[in-house]
Amino acid sequence: MSVDVTVARSLREALEALARPGAPTQVLAGGTDLMVELRTGRARPERVVDVWKLGELRGVRAESDGLRIGALATCAELRQDPLVARGAALVAAACAEVGAEQIQARATLGGNLGTASPAADLNPALVALGARVRLVSLAGARELSCDEFLAGYRRTLRRPDELVESVLVPTRPAGERCGLRKVGTRRAQSISKLVVALALSVEGRRITALRAAAGSVGPRTLRLAGLERALVGAALEPQLLRAAALRSAREDIAPIDDVRSSEAYRRQVFARVLATLLGELSGAFACPS
C-alpha cells in the first residue's frame, strides 16, 4: 500500500495538510513509534504529515507561568537543557529512562504524548507536574491538562486536524521535591513494567502538596488520586506512608498480566517503589524495612 507523505516546511503547511478531508492521516515526528507501527501494520494511514523540520515546534522557553517545551524537543535535548533542569527536572529524569541514546536522539515529547501508550515514560512526569498541552489547528489553539488529554488506551483528545504544539510545565513551588522510578527488565532499551512519578512539598513534618502519576499499571497513564487524598496534610510518619502506598497499589491502579509482567508483580513492586520514593523525597525514611 502506498502512503502519501507531506514533508511540512511550515506550521501552516502542516495544519493545512491535516485539515484536508478524507483519508486517515498520521503525524510523523521522530518516528521511533510510528515507523515501528507502520512496519508491523498496526498503523495503516493513507497520508503522513512529517513535522520533523518545523522550527515552530522546537525549543524551550521560560514564560510568566512556567516552562514552555516545544513538541519536537527530543529526550536528548531535554536531558541537557538548563531551563528544564531548573523548571522541569522530573521531565529530564523521565527522558533519561527512554530507550537508549539512539532512541533519545529522535524520540520527542509530542510523540510520547501522541502515542498515549500506558507504558510511555514521559507522560507520568507530565501528569505529576500538572503540565498542560497546547493543541493547534487552522481553527486556533486550545489547552488541556495532560491528564485529560491522555484519555484512554492509546487514545487522546486530539482532533485529527490538530497538532500537539507544545507543553507548559507550570512554575514549580519553592522547595518542591520530585522523583521518578522506572522498573524494567534491563537498565536501558526496556519498556516499563511500571513507572512512578511524584511531585511533593513538605512543611515541617507534614506533606502540604502531592501530585502522583504512574505508567504501565493501567490502560492509560494514571493519576494516583487516592494516594494524593490520603497524604496531603498527613504527618511524615513512615508507617503512614507505607500504608498509603499499599492502599494505592490496591485501589489507584489496574495492572494486567502481559508480556512484560504480571498483575501480582506489578502491584507488589509498585507498593515498594512508591513507599521508597515517598520516604526518600519526604525525608521520612531512606528505605522501607
Chain contacts with ligand FAD (rule: CB under 6 A): 26-34, 36, 51, 71, 98-99, 103, 106-108, 110-112, 114-115, 120-122, 158, 163-164, 189, 191
Query: Closest distance between ligand FAD and the C-beta of residue 65, in Å?
Result: 22
Query: Closest distance between ligand FAD and the C-beta of residue 190, in Å?
Result: 6
Closest CB to ligand FAD among residues 93, 231: 93
Tell me the pairing of strands 25-28 and 47-50.
parallel
Closest CB to ligand FAD among residues 117, 248: 117
Closest CB to ligand FAD among residues 131, 241: 131
Closest CB to ligand FAD among residues 150, 198: 150
Q: Which residues contact 186 (CB under 8 A, 6 or more apart)?
A: none
Closest CB to ligand FAD among residues 147, 228: 147
In whole angstroms, what is the distance from residue 117 CA to residue 225 CA?
20
Query: Closest distance between ligand FAD and the C-beta of residue 237, in Å?
Result: 34
In whole angstroms, what is the distance from residue 95 CA to residue 146 CA?
17
Tell me the pairing of strands 155-156 and 163-170.
unpaired
Closest CB to ligand FAD among residues 27, 244: 27
Query: Closest distance between ligand FAD and the C-beta of residue 114, in Å?
Result: 2
286, 280 Cβ separation under 8 angstroms: yes
Query: Closest distance between ligand FAD and the C-beta of residue 28, in Å?
Result: 5
3-state secondary structure at position 196: strand
In whole angstroms, what is the distance from residue 66 CA to residue 186 CA?
34
In whole angstroms, what is the distance from residue 110 CA to residue 122 CA?
10
Q: Which three cell numbers stand for residue 222?
A: 494514571
In whole angstroms, what is the distance from residue 221 CA to residue 225 CA?
12
Query: Closest distance between ligand FAD and the C-beta of residue 108, in Å?
Result: 3
